[in-house]
């Protein structure tokens, strides 16, 4: 049994008690909202109990029987490059597959998508070693009509491995100053949530992206269901050509059709050791991996009132 299934089973006793409590307390609801720049985090109580119906103003990527999540994984421990030889788990634990869409005891047995997301701290090649990237080419979602992006998720302590600031310092103080290490990462869970147009995967064309970095304090939120709500108006918008970003004003792209969403593991700013030392970097520089075990209950895009999507 791989660790993802073990994680779900390990919470059985606690979830039975939670289910009994939920029967007494009623339907799922959120509380303890904390506002950050461009996004908020709330606790989800009674997870999965009498979940409200999908909003008419929502395009649902994943919830219940709807699951259009897709993704990728570069992780092969036995690959010739050896770049992932020291990851903590097995290849199958990093796969993005419908096989990982399972009933979850910690959320009243609703289905959740479970995976371990991995980000490199040293090399920019395959730095996002895996991730989610659903595309919706059959939908018409104009950028100017998008209001919020909502993710219901749980960061699991079992399966997560987040290098601490001390571990980063021990590994990289020979190459980076204390200030640079603080910029590299703070030892927290980080996720990048991005939306993009149809041509975004073609780096020979300048394509629009909108992105928000979400920081989750694992000391506060490990093993708790949370709702992350991202304000589309406050995302960082840029066009990208040959992996070079240029700031963009979303008002100039309000009619542009958004055709995909990307959920990546990240570090503090997105930069890795190689960004700091550039040509001095070699494969002999030590690699640290940030491994984030995540369960996803819902991803949806809320559109503005009276906005038309088809």
% of the chain at pLDDT higher than 70: 90
Q: How far apart are CA 106 and CA 223, in angstroms?
A: 9
**What is the per-residue pLDDT across 211-261, written as a single tens digit (0 to 9) for each?**
999 999 999 999 999 999 999 999 999 999 998 999 999 999 999 999 999
Locate 248 and state its tokens.
């963009």
Locate 6 and state its tokens.
């073990």
Q: How far apart are the first and last CA of the chain?
A: 42
Q: How far apart are CA 67 and CA 297, in angstroms?
A: 10
**Under a CB-based contact definition with an 8 Å cutoff, are residues 226 and 36 in contact?**
no
- SS3 per residue for 266-300: ECCCCCCHHHHHHHHCCCCCCCCEEEEEEEEEEEE
Q: Domain coordinates of the chain in residue numbers?
A: 3-303
**Under a CB-based contact definition with an 8 Å cutoff, are residues 193 and 151 in contact?**
yes
pTM: 0.89
**Under a CB-based contact definition with an 8 Å cutoff, are residues 224 and 294 in contact?**
no
What is the average pLDDT score of the chain?
90
**What is the per-residue pLDDT across 131-171, written as a single tens digit (0 to 9) for each?**
999 998 888 899 999 999 999 999 999 999 999 999 999 99
Question: Which residues have CB under 8 Å from 48's CB, separation 6+?
Answer: 28, 104, 107, 108, 109, 110, 297
pLDDT at 11 > cutoff 60: no
In Å, how far from its chain's centre is CA 289? 16
**Per-residue pLDDT averaged across 39-59, rounded?**
90
pLDDT at 306 > cutoff 80: no
**Under a CB-based contact definition with an 8 Å cutoff, are residues 288 and 122 in contact?**
yes
């Amino acid at each position: 049994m791989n660790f993802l299934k073990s994680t779900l089973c390990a919470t059985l006793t606690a979830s039975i008690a939670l289910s009994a409590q939920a029967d007494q307390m009623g339907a799922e609801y959120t509380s303890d909202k904390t506002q950050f720049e461009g996004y908020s985090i709330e606790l989800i109580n009674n997870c999965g109990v009498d979940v409200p119906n999908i909003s008419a103003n929502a395009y649902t990527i994943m919830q219940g029987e709807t699951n259009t999540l897709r993704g990728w994984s570069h992780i092969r421990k036995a690959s010739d490059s050896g770049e992932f030889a020291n990851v903590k788990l097995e290849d199958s634990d990093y796969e993005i597959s419908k096989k990982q869409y399972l009933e979850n005891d910690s959320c009243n047995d609703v289905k959740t998508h479970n995976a371990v997301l991995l980000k490199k701290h040293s090399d920019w090649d395959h730095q996002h070693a895996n991730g989610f990237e659903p595309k919706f080419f059959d939908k018409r979602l104009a950028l100017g009509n998008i209001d919020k992006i909502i993710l219901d998720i749980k960061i699991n302590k079992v399966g997560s491995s987040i290098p601490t600031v001390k571990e980063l310092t021990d590994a990289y103080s020979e190459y980076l100053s204390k200030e640079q290490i603080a910029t590299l990462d703070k030892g927290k869970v980080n996720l990048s949530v991005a939306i993009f147009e149809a041509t975004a995967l073609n780096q020979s064309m300048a394509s629009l992206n909108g992105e928000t970095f979400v920081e989750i304090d694992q000391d506060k939120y490990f093993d708790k269901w949370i709702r992350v709500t991202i304000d589309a108006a406050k995302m960082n918008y840029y066009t990208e050509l040959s992996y070079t970003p240029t700031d963009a004003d979303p008002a100039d792209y309000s009619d542009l059709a958004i055709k995909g969403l990307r959920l990546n593991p990240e570090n503090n700013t997105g930069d890795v050791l190689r960004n700091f030392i550039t040509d001095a970097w070699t494969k002999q520089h030590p690699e640290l991996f940030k491994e984030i075990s995540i369960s996803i209950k819902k991803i949806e895009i809320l559109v503005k009132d009276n906005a038309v999507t088809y």
